[in-house]
Structures are given as structure tokens and as C-alpha cells.
Amino acid sequence: MAAASLYAPICPHDSIEEIFSDIYMVRGSIQLNPFVRISRNMAVIRHESELTLIDPIRLDEKNEEQLCTLGEIKRILRLGPFHGADDRYYVDRFETELWAPGLSEAYPDPAPDRIIDPDTPLPLPDARLFRFEGTTQPESALLVERDGGLLLTCDAIQHYGDNRHNNWLARIMMPFIGFPKTTVIGPIWLKLMTPEGASLESEFRRLAGWRFAHLLSAHGSLLRDDAHASVERAIDRAFPRRKS
């Protein structure tokens, strides 16, 4: 195992919470700079004795021990290229596989063990992978098709029901930079991921064609029951249709 100084520091986070059968959530945070700390979430899916961590967060010792009691940490799944600060820790500490839709410019190390696309067989029952086409870097979403459908996203779609784990400066800033308390198409993500002169509206409309009731993104809070309608409203706000 590499020296501890090589890893990102552990940021404040909550305890592990089971949100559906064999699906868990950790609400945590990441320190963007000395002044701003924002929310960050990890999902954990258990199948038989194996755990898959979605956009993983490094946990404190107590919660890491609890995580290990749930099963073997077999793999981590990075949905988006702008996440990955704690991937190296899990790869070194637990010798996990890293699955991702492609390489990350922000976090090139570790490189994915498996590059995945919608045709890749997933080790999770009732799960489907959505890949955004035409983006400047690869990003995916994961749909778990039970309990009404749980959509897991990274930065593309985010939901803010509260300001938990955002520090005071982030709470002031967020509404002014496009992150009010609702479901949003990530405005910074959209700017960075849209090629010049292109639009990603059709990709979000395609995703809205999938059935899901709940949403958990890598930032913000869990949205239960009303997620599909809320995502559709977010798409309409991000891509307003011109009146004829």
C-alpha cells in the first residue's frame, strides 16, 4: 500500500445509510479549495457477497470498518471524468478493479481496468448503463431497475434538496452559479462537456426516455419518488424550446 500522504484527505461525511435493499448511500463532501467545501455522494451496491462502489468516497476508520462488514469491496465504478480523488486509495487498499466509461484527464491515475459501455455485461443484477454520446469526455449514468428505478448520476444531473455538507461560502455561492435547491443539469459540467457549436439536449431527452422514480447524484441529496418528472423539468430549463 502506498504512503498515506499520496491520498486525498478524508473529508466530513455521514454514516452509511441503506436507502433500498442492498443499496447504500454515503453523503459526504470534498474540499475544492481552502475556502469552499461542497457535497459529494457515494453509492454502494451489494450483490451476493460483493460490493460495487459508485463514485467512491474515502471513509473514516469507523465507517470503513462498517463498509467491510457489508461484503468484499470488489470494484469501484467511476461514472464521470471529474471524480476520482479517492480511486487510488481503494485500488491500493482493497485491490479493487476500476471500471469507467473512459479515461479521465483530471484523474489519469489509476487508469481503468475496464472501459465500459452500454453493451458491457455488468456484475449487478437489474442494472443498465447509459453513456452520454458526443461529450468532450466520457460520462455515464447507471440505472438500477428495481424499487421503481434508481438513477445514479455523477455531474450531469444533480439534485439539491438541502445544503448538507456545503460550507457557508458554498451555500451562498451555489444559487448564483446555477445550483438552486432543485434538480439541475450541472451547468459547469454542461459547459465543459459540450463541444463547441454542439448541443447535448438529445442525450438528456434520450435518458428521460428511461423509467426511474429515484435519483442519487454524486452531489446534493437523494430524491425519492418524483425524480423522473423533476429531471424532465431540469432538462426543459437547461434547453428551453423556442416558441414558433
Each residue's pLDDT tens digit, 26-36: 999 999 999 99
In sequence order, the 6+-apart residues with CB closer than 8 A to the CB of 112 are 78, 98, 99, 100, 102, 103
Nearest of 49, 69, 47 to residue 59 by alpha carbon: 69
Instruction: Specify the residue for cell string 432538462.
Output: 235
Asked if pLDDT for residue 243 goes beyond 90, the answer is no
Q: Contact at 8 Å (CB) between 65 and 16?
A: no
Average pLDDT over residues 72-84: 98
Closest C-alpha among 120, 194, 129, 167 to residue 11: 167
For residue 241, name the pLDDT band (cuts at 50, 70, 90): confident
Q: Cα separation of 51 and 45, whole Å?
A: 6
Evaluate if residue 1 carries a pLDDT over 60.
no
For 86, the 3-state DSSP assignment is coil
pLDDT at 55 over 70: yes
Question: How large is the average pLDDT for residues 6-10?
Answer: 92
Q: How confident is the model at residue 4 (pLDDT cuts 50, 70, 90)?
A: low
Return the exposure string of 101-136: e unless at least 16 CB atoms fall within 10 Å of the residue's CB, then b. bbebeebeebebeeebeeeeebbbeebebbbbeebe
**Residues 15-41: what's their mean pLDDT?**
97
CA nearest to 114, candidates 125, 126, 129, 127? 129
Give SS3 for 185: strand
Average pLDDT, the chain: 96
- On the question of pLDDT at 244 being above 90, the answer is no
178 neighbors 238 (Cβ within 8 angstroms): no
Mean pLDDT score, 212-223: 98
In the structure, what pLDDT confidence band is assigned to residue 6 with cuts at 50, 70 and 90? confident
Higher-confidence residue of 205 and 6: namely 205
> Of 48 and 242, which is predicted with more confidence?
48
DSSP letters, 102-160, are S--SS--SSPPSEE--TTSPPSSTTEEEEE-SS-SS--EEEEE-STT-EEE-SSSEEE-
| pLDDT band at 120; cut points 50, 70, 90 | very high
Q: Which three cell numbers stand for residue 201?
A: 439536449
Residues 140-181 have pLDDT tens digits of: 999 999 999 999 999 999 999 999 999 999 999 999 999 999
Which pTM value belongs to this model?
A: 0.95
Q: Please give the radius of gyration of the chain, using alpha carbons only, rounded to the nearest integer.
A: 17
